[in-house]
C-alpha cells in the first residue's frame, strides 16, 4: 500500500517464497481458519503465472464467495503447480495480483478482529485503487453520522475536515461517497453494506446555484452521478450540476446529510429538499416545511384560476414559494378544510405524497354538503397514511366515486369559496362538459360564444371544453374515445333538422353515444323553435318538422306533412316530444349565454 506494487519475494519466518507460493499459503491459511484447522500448512513450490486479462468490476465478495474462490485457487495450484493468471468470480475475472492483495487483507482483518470478515472489497488491479479499504457500513451507521455532521455544521457554521463513521475516520470526499450511496440504496430498497473507498478532497469551484427546491428524482440522479464520479476520479466533484445551477461540494454534503436526517425522521426519502448557496448566513437550512391556512388557500385560488384558464391541472403547485406535487397539495387542501371546519388556525406541515393515476372515466355528479366533504377530507388523509403516502386514484363519497384530479379541484373550489370565516355550505360536482356548435353566424361570433360558455362553466366548477364548430361535430365528439363515458355533450344548433333529431335513436348514434348524455340547444332565431314550429299553419295545428332542404343523408323519416310552401314532405311530428320520450333533454333559447350556462350546469350535476 505504501509502494503501490507487490514485492517479488516474501520472507515468511526466514523462508523466502515467490508471489505464487505466497498466494498458495494465503488461500490455504484462510480455509484452515474457517475450518478451525490448526494443522501445519503444506509448502508447495508454485510457479508465478503469466499475465492475464482482468475484467473485474468494483464490488464486494461475501465470505462464502471468497472461501470458495480460495478453494478454487488452491485446487488450480495443486493441479497445475502454478498460480492462475486470473480467477473467475461473481465480479468478473480477478487478476493474480488482486487475489494476492485481497487475501492479505482478509488475513489482516482476521488478525485485528479475531474472525474472518463477512465481506471483502474487490477493485481492478491499479495503483490508483491502492489502498483498498475493507471498511463496510450499514445505512443506519451512515445516517447516524450524517445527522451528527448536520448538527455540527449548524452549530459551528463549518464542516468538520474529518468525519468518523462507526469508529472509522475519513475525509469529506469519502463521506460524500457514503451518504450518496446510502441515499441510492434507500431509494432502491438495497440493505447491503456500503464499502469505504479511497478519495481525495476535491478542489474549489465557483458556485452558481440559486435558492430553490430539488425534487427526489433529481437528487437521486445527482447521487448516482456523484458516486460514479468519485469511483472514476478518486475524489468528489468540486461542483455538481443541478437544475438550479452549479452546487459546491460543501452544499452537496450538507444536502445529503439533511436528506438522510429526514429519512431517519419519517422512514422515507423526502419528495424534495431545499437548496441554498453555500454561505454561513444560509445555515441552517430548514427542511421541515409548514404552511399557514391562508397560504394554502391562496394556492387553491391560484390552481382554480389556472384550471379555468388552461383546462388542465398543473403537475407542480407553488405554496408560499415551495413546489409541491399534486398528491402533497391534496393533503394540504384536505387538512386545511378540516382545520377550518374546526376553527383551528395552526400551521400545516408538508408531507410526502405519491401522485396516483387518475381515471378520467370515474365521474361523480351531485351536491356534497359541508359535513360530507369534511368527512371525505378526513378519509383522504387516512388513505395517504394507510397507503405509504400514495394518493387515492379515486374515493367513495355521498355522490359516488370521485377521481383524484376531481378531488384536487373540488377542494381548491372549497377553499376558494371560504369567506367570512365560514366554509361553503355545499359544493357541486359536475360531469365533464364538451360543447359542439353548428356554423350559426360568422366564425368570430361562433368562436366567442363557445369561449364565453366554456369560461362561465369553468368558473362555476365544471370541467368544460369547447370541442369544435362545424358540420358533424355533434357526431365527431361521440366518436372520440378520449371523451369520457358519463360526460355531458352539449350540441348547439342554428337550425332544426328532422333527420339529425331522428338519427339520435338509431343504432349507429346510440353506439357512438355510449353512456354519455347529450343535451341539445337550439338558438332561435335563426333556428325554428321545435316546441312551436311555424309549419303548424300548413299542418292543421300539428307541430311538424319537415325534412331540411339540405338533408341528403336521411334515407327515411317516419312522418309526413307539409312544409311552409304547402308541399307534402316527410319529416318528424312533435320533435320536442320525440326527444323527451327517448331520454334527450333540450333547450330552445334566444342565445342568452348566462341562461344557457345555467341550464347546462343543471344537466351536468344530474
- Determine the 3-state secondary structure of 123 from DSSP: coil
Q: What is the structure's pLDDT at 238?
A: 95
What rounded mean pLDDT belongs to the chain?
92
d(CA 496, CA 509): 18
pLDDT tens figures, 533-555? 999 989 999 999 999 988 888 88
pLDDT of 574 over the 80 cut: yes
Q: What is the structure's pLDDT at 604?
A: 93
What mean pLDDT comes out for the span 89-101? 94
φ, ψ at 526 (rounded to 5°): -80, -20
**Comparing 353 with 352, which gets the higher pLDDT?**
353
What mean pLDDT comes out for the span 106-119? 89
**What's the Cα-to-Cα distance from 30 to each of 1, 114, 413, rounded to whole Å?**
21, 12, 71
Kindly tell me the burial class for residue 414, based on how many C-beta atoms sit within 10 Å of its own C-beta (0-12, 13-18, 19 or more). Answer: buried
Q: What is the structure's pLDDT at 322?
A: 78
What mean pLDDT comes out for the span 6-21? 94
Q: What is the structure's pLDDT at 395?
A: 93
Reported confidence tier of residue 288, pLDDT bands at 50, 70, 90: low
Q: What is the structure's pLDDT at 133?
A: 77
- Determine the 3-state secondary structure of 71 from DSSP: helix
The domain locations on the chain are 9-129, 136-282, 290-429, 433-604
pLDDT of 195 over the 80 cut: yes
125, 4 Cβ separation under 8 angstroms: no
**Comparing 270 with 69, which gets the higher pLDDT?**
69
Among residues 24, 76, 32, which one has the least CA distance to residue 10? 24
Does the CA dihedral 383-386-387-388 come out positive or negative?
positive
Q: What is the structure's pLDDT at 436?
A: 97
φ, ψ at 562 (rounded to 5°): -125, 140
CA angle, 303 as apex, 301 and 305 as ends, to 5°?
70
Please report, to the nearest 10 degrees, the dihedral formed by the alpha carbons of residues 528, 483, 364, 582 taken in order. 40
Asked whether the bond before 525 is cis by omega within 30 degrees of 0, the reply is yes
- Determine the 3-state secondary structure of 550 from DSSP: coil
Q: Write the CATH number of the domain with boundaries 433-604.
A: 3.40.50
Residue 79 per-residue DSSP state: H
17, 28 Cβ separation under 8 angstroms: no
Asked whether the bond before 526 is cis by omega within 30 degrees of 0, the reply is yes
What mean pLDDT comes out for the span 105-134? 88
Kindly tell me the burial class for residue 476, based on how many C-beta atoms sit within 10 Å of its own C-beta (0-12, 13-18, 19 or more). Answer: middle
165's grid cell: 463513521
Q: What is the structure's pLDDT at 489?
A: 97
Exposure string over 281-318, b if 16+ CB within 10 A, otherwise e: eebebebebebebebbbbbbebbbeebbeeeebeeebe
Whose cell is 355521498? That residue is: 398
DSSP H helices in 417-461: 443-460
Among residues 262, 257, 251, 304, which one has the least CA distance to residue 287? 262
d(CA 13, CA 45): 16
pLDDT of 257 over the 90 cut: yes
pLDDT tens figures, 466-486? 999 999 999 999 999 999 899
462, 406 Cβ separation under 8 angstroms: no
d(CA 94, CA 505): 78
- SS3 assignment for 154-207: HHHCCCCCEEEECCEEEEHHHHHHHHHHHHHHHHHCCCCCEECCCCECCCCCCC
What mean pLDDT comes out for the span 584-596? 95
531, 543 Cβ separation under 8 angstroms: yes
Whose cell is 478518486? That residue is: 234
Q: Which residues contact 185 (CB under 8 A, 6 or more apart)?
A: 139, 191, 192, 194
**Comparing 95 with 266, which gets the higher pLDDT?**
95
pLDDT tens figures, 198-209? 788 888 889 999
What mean pLDDT comes out for the span 568-588? 95
Please report, to the nearest 10 degrees, the dihedral formed by the alpha carbons of residues 511, 512, 513, 519 taken in order. -130
558: left (phi over 0), alpha (psi -120 to 50) or beta: alpha
pLDDT of 419 over the 90 cut: no
What mean pLDDT comes out for the span 324-330? 91
DSSP H helices in 315-355: 326-341
Reported confidence tier of residue 163, pLDDT bands at 50, 70, 90: very high
491, 521 Cβ separation under 8 angstroms: yes
DSSP H helices in 275-421: 293-310, 326-341, 370-386, 404-416
pLDDT tens figures, 20-44? 999 999 999 999 999 999 999 988 8
d(CA 561, CA 43): 119
- Taking 3-state DSSP, the helix, strand and coil percentages for the chain, each rounded to the nearest 5, stand at 40, 20, 35
φ, ψ at 590 (rounded to 5°): -80, -10
Q: What is the structure's pLDDT at 242?
A: 94
Q: What is the structure's pLDDT at 8?
A: 94
d(CA 434, CA 310): 15
**Comparing 578 with 203, which gets the higher pLDDT?**
578
d(CA 494, CA 443): 13
Amino acid at each position: 500500500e505504501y509502494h503501490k506494487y507487490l514485492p517479488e519475494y516474501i520472507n515468511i519466518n526466514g523462508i523466502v517464497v515467490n508471489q505464487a507460493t505466497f498466494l498458495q499459503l494465503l488461500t490455504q491459511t484462510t480455509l484452515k481458519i474457517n475450518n478451525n484447522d490448526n494443522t501445519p500448512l503444506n509448502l508447495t513450490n508454485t510457479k508465478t503465472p503469466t499475465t492475464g486479462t482482468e475484467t473485474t468490476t468494483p464490488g464486494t465478495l461475501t465470505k462464502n464467495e471468497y472461501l470458495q474462490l480460495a478453494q478454487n485457487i488452491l485446487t488450480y495450484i495443486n493441479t497445475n503447480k502454478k498460480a492462475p493468471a486470473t480467477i473467475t468470480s461473481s465480479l468478473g475475472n480477478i487478476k493474480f495480483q488482486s487475489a494476492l492483495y485481497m487475501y492479505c487483507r482478509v488475513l489482516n482483518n482476521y488478525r485485528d478482529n479475531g474472525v474472518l470478515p463477512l465481506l471483502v472489497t474487490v477493485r481492478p488491479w491499479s495503483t490508483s485503487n491502492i489502498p483498498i479499504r475493507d471498511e463496510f457500513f450499514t445505512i443506519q451507521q451512515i445516517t447516524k453520522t450524517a445527522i451528527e455532521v448536520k448538527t455540527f455544521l449548524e452549530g459551528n457554521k463549518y464542516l468538520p475536515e474529518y468525519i468518523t463513521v462507526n469508529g472509522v475516520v475519513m475525509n469529506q470526499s469519502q463521506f460524500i461517497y457514503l451518504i450518496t450511496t446510502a441515499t441510492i440504496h434507500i431509494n432502491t430498497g438495497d440493505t447491503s453494506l456500503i464499502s469505504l473507498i479511497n478519495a481525495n478532497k476535491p478542489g474549489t469551484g465557483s458556485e452558481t446555484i440559486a435558492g430553490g427546491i430539488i425534487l427526489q428524482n433529481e437528487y437521486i440522479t445527482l447521487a448516482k452521478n456523484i458516486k460514479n464520479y468519485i469511483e472514476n476520479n478518486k475524489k468528489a466533484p468540486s461542483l455538481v450540476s443541478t437544475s438550479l445551477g452549479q452546487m459546491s461540494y460543501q452544499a452537496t454534503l450538507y444536502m445529503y446529510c439533511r436528506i438522510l436526517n429526514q429519512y431517519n425522521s419519517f422512514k422515507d426519502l423526502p419528495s424534495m429538499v431545499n437548496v441554498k448557496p453555500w454561505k454561513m448566513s444560509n445555515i441552517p437550512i430548514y427542511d421541515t416545511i409548514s404552511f399557514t391556512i391562508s397560504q394554502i388557500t391562496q394556492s387553491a385560488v391560484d390552481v382554480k384560476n389556472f384550471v379555468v384558464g388552461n383546462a388542465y391541472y398543473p403537475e407542480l403547485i407553488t405554496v408560499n414559494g415551495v413546489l409541491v406535487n399534486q398528491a402533497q397539495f391534496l393533503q394540504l387542501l384536505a387538512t386545511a378544510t378540516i382545520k377550518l371546519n374546526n376553527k383551528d388556525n395552526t400551521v400545516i406541515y408538508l408531507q410526502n405524497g405519491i401522485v396516483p393515476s387518475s381515471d378520467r372515466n370515474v365521474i361523480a355528479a351531485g351536491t356534497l354538503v359541508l359535513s360530507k366533504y369534511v368527512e371525505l377530507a378526513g378519509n383522504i388523509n387516512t388513505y395517504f397514511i394507510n397507503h405509504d403516502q400514495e394518493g387515492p386514484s379515486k374515493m367513495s363519497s355521498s355522490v359516488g366515486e370521485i377521481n383524484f384530479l376531481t378531488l384536487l379541484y373540488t377542494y381548491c373550489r372549497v377553499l376558494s369559496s371560504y369567506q367570512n370565516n365560514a366554509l361553503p355550505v355545499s359544493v357541486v360536482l359536475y360531469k365533464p362538459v364538451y360543447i359542439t356548435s353548428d356554423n350559426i353566424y360568422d366564425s368570430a361570433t361562433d368562436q366567442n360564444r363557445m369561449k364565453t360558455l366554456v369560461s362561465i362553466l369553468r368558473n362555476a366548477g365544471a370541467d368544460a371544453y369547447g370541442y369544435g364548430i362545424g358540420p358533424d361535430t355533434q357526431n365527431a365528439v361521440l366518436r372520440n374515445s378520449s371523451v369520457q363515458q358519463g360526460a355531458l355533450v352539449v350540441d348547439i344548433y342554428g337550425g332544426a333538422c328532422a333527420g339529425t333529431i331522428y338519427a339520435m335513436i338509431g343504432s349507429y348514434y346510440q353506439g357512438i353515444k355510449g353512456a354519455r348524455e347529450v343535451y341539445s340547444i337550439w338558438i332561435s332565431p335563426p333556428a325554428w323553435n321545435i316546441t312551436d314550429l311555424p309549419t303548424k299553419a300548413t299542418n292543421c295545428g300539428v307541430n311538424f318538422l319537415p325534412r331540411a332542404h339540405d338533408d341528403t343523408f336521411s334515407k327515411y323519416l317516419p312522418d309526413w306533412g307539409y312544409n311552409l310552401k304547402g308541399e307534402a314532405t316527410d319529416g318528424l311530428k312533435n320533435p320536442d316530444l320525440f326527444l323527451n320520450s327517448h331520454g334527450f333533454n333540450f333547450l330552445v333559447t334566444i342565445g342568452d349565454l348566462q341562461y344557457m350556462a345555467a341550464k347546462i350546469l343543471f344537466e351536468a350535476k344530474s
